[in-house]
Amino acid sequence: MTGYVICASCGARIKANRERCLRCDEPLVAAAPAPAPVRLPDWLTASSGRMLMFGAAASLLVLLAATIVWESRSGPAVDDVARPAPGAPLTASRPGTPARPGEAATRDPFTAVTALDSSRLAGAAYSSGDLASAKAHFEEAVAKNPDDPDAINGVGQILARQGQVDEAIQRFTRAIQLAPNKWTYHFNLAHAEGQLGQWDNAIAEYRTAAGLFPQDYATQYNLAMALHKKGDDEGAVGEFKRAIELAPSEASFHLSLGISLEKTGKVADALREYTQYLDMEPSAPQAEKLKAHIQALASGQTAATQAGQPTAPKTPQGRPD
């Protein structure tokens, strides 16, 4: 069975036998290019006399730099300015200074840095599958910065995976309030709504996510699946076709499209998609079952039994970042 890898560029879960990421088209394994040989300029190697001139000039530059550093150290100190929390207004007030009305106060540098460290530790733990540690680090980051949407989203993602979907939805909704134009948060909220069978809510959030990231095949596929599960296969067909345009090498998309086409009575088109799927995945686990279903459809048995019908793949999971 083909394994999966995580794209280092965008975080997508991609089959390990692929060379490039379907989402961002970046190489999944990129070898570092060998450094080019360093060639000294002719004027530098022409004669020993020029080398001496270069050495004298370099010495003068070092002396000048040392003078500048000494003067900067003896001058007035510069106040540290904390980096604002993600999604917060860009303000730069001193730590402890009351904020103006409607303006968020800037956190002190130590708090900002340690909150960032907690989020990084959480992300590393999440990637390794240590959900307990990831949750603890994300919650620590939220405690240090209650308005950090990435950390709040991270907590929500872990809650969703642990089955606490209602609580996860609250976190995703809060993250969207803080950063409404972040595709990831809408994607994760849509997936959580789908876990509860709230397909209207899921479809709305997937549409928002697709608008924010039109080239993401996973968002497009999940939107189509949500429509299919709601029972709107007419609407799902167009969305599945769009997903195939974005990721033409993903065989499972053809299988899902075939299922929706069959449900809308377009048997000939469904047969074409089923056949395309088998051409791309001849050793798929349900290949024999699908072949039998294709024969039944081709022989005019359009009312195939439920046992003979193929099943669509699961939708991709949400993302922590």
Identify the band that residue 134 occupies on the pLDDT scale cut at 50, 70 and 90: confident
3-state secondary structure of 270: helix
Residue 86 confidence (pLDDT) above 80: no
Select the more confidently predicted residue: 241 or 106.
241
CATH label of the domain that carries residue 283: 1.25.40.10
**Has residue 299 got a pLDDT over 50?**
yes
Average pLDDT in the 110-128 region?
A: 59
Give domain status of residue 96, yes or no: no
pLDDT tens digits for 57-78? 444 443 344 333 333 333 333 2
Q: Is residue 69 part of a domain?
A: no
Residues 267, 197 share a domain: no
Q: What is the arithmetic mean of pLDDT over 235-245?
A: 97
Q: Which residue has the higher pLDDT, 102 or 210?
A: 210
Residue 132 pLDDT level (bands cut at 50, 70, 90): confident
Q: Are residues 149 and 238 in the same domain?
A: no
Tell me how far apart the alpha carbons of residues 248 and 280 are, in angstroms, rounded to a whole number. 11
Q: Which of 185-189, 191-195, 315-319 has the lowest mean pLDDT?
A: 315-319
Residue 294 is predicted with a pLDDT of 94
∠ Cα 50 55 61 (to 5°): 130
Which of the two residues, 36 and 254, has the higher pLDDT score? 254
Please tell me the total count of domains within the chain.
Answer: 3
Same domain, 225 and 143: no
pLDDT at 116 over 80: no
- Would you say 222 and 206 are in contact if contact means Cβ atoms under 8 Å apart? yes
pLDDT at residue 43 tops 80: no
Assigned token pair, 203: 């479809």
253 inside domain: yes
CA atoms of 283 and 192, how far apart (whole Å):
32
Give yes or no: residues 219 and 145 share one domain. no
pLDDT, greater one: 121 or 272: 272
Give the confidence band of 212 by pLDDT, cuts at 50, 70, 90: very high
Task: Note the pLDDT of residue 274.
Answer: 95
What pLDDT shows up at residue 215? Answer: 95
Question: How many Å apart are CA 106 and CA 98, to the nearest integer?
Answer: 9
pLDDT of residue 5: 66
Does 199 share its domain with 253? no
Lowest-pLDDT range, 113-117, 118-122, 210-214? 113-117
Does the pLDDT of residue 88 top 50, yes or no? no
Same domain, 284 and 222: yes
So what's the pLDDT on residue 66?
A: 37
Q: Is residue 112 part of a domain?
A: no
Strand ranges (E), the chain: 4-6, 13-15
Q: Is residue 47 part of a domain?
A: no
Average pLDDT over residues 102-111: 38
Residue 225 lies in a domain: yes
State the Cα–Cα distance between residues 92 and 89, nearest whole angstrom. Answer: 9
pTM: 0.63
Domain end marker among 174, 207, 240:
207
Q: What is the pLDDT of residues 247-279, one digit of tens each?
A: 999 999 999 999 999 999 999 999 999 999 999
Q: Is residue 85 part of a domain?
A: no
Strand (E) or helix (H) holding 292: helix 287-298
State mean pLDDT over 191-208.
97
Q: Where are the alpha helices (DSSP H) in 4-128?
A: 42-45, 48-74, 109-128
Question: Which residue segment(s) compose the domain that 170 sits in?
Answer: 130-207
Does the structure show a pLDDT above 50 at 40?
Answer: no
Report the relative pairing of strands 13-15 and 4-6 from DSSP bridges: antiparallel
Q: What proportion of the chain, given as a percentage, has pLDDT over 90?
A: 46
- Residue 1 CA, chain-centre distance (Å), reads 24
At 3 the pLDDT is: 65
28 within 8 A of 4, measured Cβ to Cβ? no
| Pair (170, 231) in one structural domain | no
